[in-house]
Amino acid sequence: MLIINTIEEVRNHLAKIREKGLSVGFVPTMGALHEGHLSLIREARKENDYVVCSIFINPIQFNKKSDLEKYPRNIETDINLLNDEKCDVLFYPSEVEMLPTTKAETFDFGGLDQFMEGKFRSGHFNGVATIVKKLFEIIEPQRAYFGMKDYQQLVIIHKITKDHNLPVEIIPCHTIREEDGLAMSSRNQLLSKSERKQAATIFKVLKMIKIHSGFSTINEIKEYVESQFRKSKTAKLEYFEIVDMYSLKPLKAWAESNNVIACTAVQVGNVRLIDNIILFS
Ligand code: PAJ
């Protein structure tokens, strides 16, 4: 695997790859790679001639300095994992290379950022969209792979690629979970043993509400979820929303949409975790 640190070099290299008529699949990440990330690389490997992964911990998408500072960094392990997956290029730029000015662009997400992550993490999606758009312009992939775990991010990236006519196909990929159901996340490694145990409650509750969704109202479901987290001292519910899968607008009644997803963010100790489950589509 080639490791490239500069925009100029990666551009020149990929221009030659495209000249040969090879398709490029791209997986943007912030590193501390786990099976969730690797599943995206495998999908990209299946559908493209050439696979590029980027690792860049994007400071402008963190709304808390402490979260950025403690974000896990395991570059040596990441390189080994990417080599094992036969990734062709790791683009691993420095902060000055990617963000000579640390300002995020301001996007119009058409209301997609109004709720959930957008509401609780001010500026987060402008930071994400700024860096993903830059990465797309540098790498110029045919396809880019994103996890359903970050569902709101996926929908927002889909919108900006359409709005800005970026010639890249966004491929959604399933959430990869630990054996007890916890969605894999780089942040999981920051959990203590007891917090890690508590974190499994998140998906247990989501699975339970999927069963209940046929015969309970949305309000009843919300009350059930809130009561489940009130019991726990370490896992604090930040939000739980049942939303339309496309507009991301919270629903008051099931009849309002045919495509429904439940999304949640839970603070477990000092670690903030997100997850979701499709209720019907
Ligand atoms: P990061 O959290 O490193 O995630 C990189 C990609 O991996 C995202 O598309 C995310 O949805 C996906 N992913 C994470 N956990 C997953 C899991 N358990 N199963 C499947 N896919 C999973 O998301 C980001 O980085 C950043 O916001 C980024 C898009 C790179 C922009 O900075």
Q: Is the CB of 33 under 6 A from ligand 1?
A: no
Best residue among 26, 30, 177 to mutate for probing ligand 1's pocket (most ligand atoms within 8 Å of CB) is 30
Q: Is the CB of 175 under 6 A from ligand 1?
A: yes
The residue contributing the CA closest to ligand 1 atom 11 is 147
DSSP 170: E
Percent of the chain with pLDDT over 70: 100
Q: Is the CB of 176 under 6 A from ligand 1?
A: yes
What is the distance between the alpha carbons of residues 143 and 22, in angstroms, rounded to a whole number?
Answer: 12
Q: What ligand 1 atom has the least distance to the C-alpha of 54?
A: 30
Best residue among 149, 152, 170, 272 to mutate for probing ligand 1's pocket (most ligand atoms within 8 Å of CB) is 149
What spacing in Å lies between the alpha carbon of 198 and ligand 1's midpoint?
22
Residues ≥6 apart with Cβ < 8 Å to 176: 34, 35, 36, 39, 147, 183, 184
Q: Give CA angle at 235 (229, 237), nearest 5°.
A: 55
Strand, helix or coil for residue 278: strand
| pLDDT at res. 180 | 98
Nearest residue to 45 (alpha-carbon basis) of 24, 61, 28, 63: 24
| pLDDT at res. 101 | 86
Q: Locate tokens 């690389």: which residue?
A: 41
Q: Is the CB of 146 under 6 A from ligand 1?
A: yes
Based on the number of CB atoms within 10 Å of its own CB, is 249 exposed (0-12), middle (13-18) or buried (19 or more)?
middle
Given a cut of 90, whether residue 250 has pLDDT beyond it is: yes
What spacing in Å lies between the alpha carbon of 214 and ligand 1's midpoint?
31
Residue 221 structure tokens: 């479901």
pLDDT band at 62 (very low <50, low <70, confident <90, very high): very high
Phi, psi of 86 (to 5 degrees): 60, 40
Q: Can you give the length of the chain in residues?
A: 281
| pLDDT at res. 189 | 96
Q: Is the CB of 185 under 6 A from ligand 1?
A: yes
What domains does the chain contain, in order, with CATH numbers? Answer: 2-173 (3.40.50.620), 186-280 (3.30.1300.10)
Enumerate the active-site residues: 37
The residue contributing the CA closest to ligand 1 atom 7 is 37
The residue contributing the CA closest to ligand 1 atom 10 is 147
Query: 3-state SS string over 211-227?
Result: HHCCCCCHHHHHHHHHH
CB neighbour burial string for 202-235, b if at least 16 within 10 angstroms, e if fewer: bbebbeebeeebeeeebeebbeebeebbeeeebb
pLDDT band at 7 (very low <50, low <70, confident <90, very high): very high
What spacing in Å lies between the alpha carbon of 153 and ligand 1's midpoint?
9
Q: Which residues, listed in sequence order, are joined to residue 177 by a DSSP beta bridge?
A: 183
Q: Is the CB of 93 under 6 A from ligand 1?
A: no
Q: Identity (one letter) of the amino acid at 230?
A: R
Residues ≥6 apart with Cβ < 8 Å to 37: 27, 29, 53
Given a cut of 90, whether residue 214 has pLDDT beyond it is: no
Q: What end-to-end distance do the CA atoms of the chain give, in Å?
A: 39
| pLDDT at res. 18 | 97
Contact 113, 125 (CB under 8 A): yes
| pLDDT at res. 171 | 98
What is the distance between the alpha carbons of residues 239 and 25, in angstroms, rounded to a whole number?
Answer: 34
Number of H helices, E strands in the chain: 11, 9
Given a cut of 80, whether residue 102 has pLDDT beyond it is: no
Based on the number of CB atoms within 10 Å of its own CB, is 49 exposed (0-12), middle (13-18) or buried (19 or more)?
middle
What spacing in Å lies between the alpha carbon of 28 and ligand 1's midpoint?
7
Best residue among 33, 40, 60, 73 to mutate for probing ligand 1's pocket (most ligand atoms within 8 Å of CB) is 40
What spacing in Å lies between the alpha carbon of 213 and ligand 1's midpoint?
28
